[in-house]
Structure 1
Amino acid sequence: MFVDSVKFTVSSGKGGQGCASFRREKFVVKGGPDGGDGGKGGDVYLLVDNNTDTLSWFKGRTVLKADNGRPGEGRNKTGKSAESLVLVVPPGTQVIDNKTGEVILDMLEEGQKELLLEGGKGGLGNTHFKNSRNQRPTYFQPGLPGQSLELRLELKLIADVGLVGYPNVGKSTLISTTSNASPEIANYEFTTLTPKLGVVEVGEYSSFVMADIPGIIDGASDGRGLGIEFLKHIERTKTLLFMIDVANYRTIIDQYKVLKEEVKKFSEELSGRNFAIALTKIDAYYGEDLEGDIKAFISELGLEVAQSNDYGFNKTLPYYVQDLTFNKFDESKPFFILPLSSVTHLNTNSIKFALYDLIGQNK
C-alpha cells in the first residue's frame, strides 16, 4: 500500500524517579543514604532508509511513545536508561508540526539521523541531598517528563525528471520502456493511482530517476481528479517533462497551456523549473497532417524546427531542440519538443540522452 501522508502523536520517554534508600548491612551502624538516580527516558529519532519507499508502517498508529527510564535502586544503583525510539522513513519525508504547520525536519539523504524529541532526565536519589545538617534525607527527585508532539509526515518523492500530462497520455508506458519500473498499463484513464519511480540507465555509468504521477486534468490544482494529491511528488524534481497526446481530441497547444497553468497554480517555483515536451502516441495519430500539426505547435511557442541532431532523433517528423553550441540554456523555453512513440520505440532511446543533458543544465 502506498501511503504518503500520516498524522500521529509521538512522545519521548519519562525519566525514572530517584530512590530513597539507606545502607543496611551487618556491622555497619547507621549506614547513610544510598539511593541511586533514575534512568533517562528514551529519545525519539528519525532515520532515512533507502529501502523504505512509503509511510505505510505508520498507517493506523495514532500514538507512538518511547519507553520510560527505570527508577533508581539502593546501593547507589542508577536505573537503566530506556532505548531510543527510531522512526524509519523514506528519503523525501517532511516532518511537520501538525498544530502550527511548521516544517521541523526535511529527511533527504540515506542514513540521515535526526533527534526529534529528547527523553526526560532521571531524578536524583536521596544520596545527593545529604549534608552536615541533614544526614538522613528521605526525599528524592521524580524523573522529568518526556516531550510530546503532534506530527504530520509528508512524503515527497525525490526524482530528476517528473512526468506531467493528462490521464492515459503514455506516461506509464514511457517509464516502463526507458527504466526498470513496471507500472500498470491499460487503455483507460487514471490507470496510475500511485506515483512510480524508475531508474533510467544512460550509458554504462550514468543514470537518473524518473517519476510518474497520476494524470492531471483541468482544475487539478483546485482538487479535481487525482493530480493535486500527487503534484507534491514532483515538487522536488529538477526538471519536468510535459507529455502531450497528439491522438487526443484536445489540440496540442490546448493541452500544453492547461498543464502549464495547473502546475503554475499549484506552485510558482515548480512552474519555473527547466522543462521539455514530448508529443506522445505518434503511432495512434488519426488526423490528416501530423507533420503540419507539430510544426504549428513549435511555431506557436515562438520556436523554429531544429536542423541539428545531436541525440539521434528520428528525422521523419519535425522536432525542436535548443542549440547550446554558442548560446546559454534558455530556461523560459523547452529544452526540446520531440515526437515520441513508446509502442514503436520512436525516439525512446534518444530521449534518455536528451533528458540527461537537460538535468545537467541545473548544475
Structure 2
Amino acid sequence: MTGAPVLEITNLNVGYGLGEHAVRAVRDVNLTVHRGEVLGLAGESGSGKSTLAYGLTRLLAPPGVITGGTVVYHPADGEPYDVLELDDVGLRKFRWAQTAIVFQGAMNSLNPVHRISAQLTDVLAAHEPTTSAAQRTARAREMLKLVGISSDRMDAYPHQLSGGMRQRVMIGMALILQPQVVIMDEPTTALDVVMQRQILGQLIDLRERLGFSVIFITHDLSLLVEFSDRIAIMYGGRIVEEAPAAVLYQDSLHPYSAGLLGSFPALRGPRRELTGIPGSPPDLRGMPSGCSFHPRCPKAFDPCAANIPVLGNPGGGGRTVACWLHPVLSWGEV
C-alpha cells in the first residue's frame, strides 16, 4: 500500500426514503483509502458509486439517509474521528479543507456570472478568513498555474474558457486548501479522450507533488487501469471485488469485473472481440435473491441464486472478492 490509512469506511449503508419502501443504494461497504494513493471506484450507472461518495461526505440530499456504518478520517495531525458523528461546525471544517470533491459535470459547476478569481478566492475567504485579499489572490494565481492555466485568465468568466480549462479550474478549486482526500466523481465524462488523459495525467502529477489521496469514480474501467493504484468494483450497491489495478487487469476474479474489462478495446496486442455484459443492472427496489449479479452472470450455478457471497480475501496480494466461484473466500476460511 502507498501509506497509512487516511479514510476508513466500515459497513456503510445508505438508502433513499424510510420504511418498507426505502431503497438501499449502498450496502455494507468496507473500503480503506491510504495516504497518497489513487483508489478507483468502477461500476455501471446505478451501482451506487456517487451515492457512496455523497454518503461519506454527508452531502446526500433528502430523501437520502445514512442508515449505518462509520467513516473514520485520519488527519495528518490529530486524532482520528468519525465523519458521521460531526456537528455542523466540525463538518464545515472537514469538507473542502480536509476532503474536497469534484462533482459530475464539474465544468458546468462554476457560477456563470462571477469571474474565476472571485470563485477561487471565495473558498479561501470562507475557510481562512484571517488571510488578506492579496494573499488570497496570490494563492489563486499559484493554484491556476499548478493546473496549467495562465494567471492572466484569472478575471475571465467561465464561458470564456474551454471545457478542459473549466475542468482544471474546478480541480484547482478542490485543491486550493490542500485537502488530504480528493473525491472525483466522473469528472471527465463530458470531455474527449485526449483531454481526459491530459487532465488525469496532470492530476496524478499533482498528487505526486502534493501528496493527497484520490477517490476516482467512473464507469470507464480503462481509465482506472491506467491511473489508479487500486480498484474497487461496485455492483448493486456492494463492493464485489477489490485489487491492485495491475492485478485486476491481468487476473480479475469476479465475472462482473471480467465483463467490464471485456467491454473496452485494448490499445496493444492482438484484436479481440468485445463482449460486454448482457442484461441491465438490477432494480434496487427489488434486488434478485442471492448474488445480485447471477441473472446476468455467464458462470452462475446453484448457490448463486440462493445465498449472498461475502467479500473475502483470497490469501494475500491485497485483493478481495465476493463470488461463489471462490467459496473458500466467501466463507472467510482463509
Normalising by the residue count of structure 1, what TM-score does the alignment of the two structures yield?
A: 0.25
Larger helix proportion of the pair: 2
Bigger CA radius of gyration: 1
Larger RCO, structures 1/2 (Cα 8 Å, 6+ apart): 2
TM-score, structure 2 as length reference: 0.26
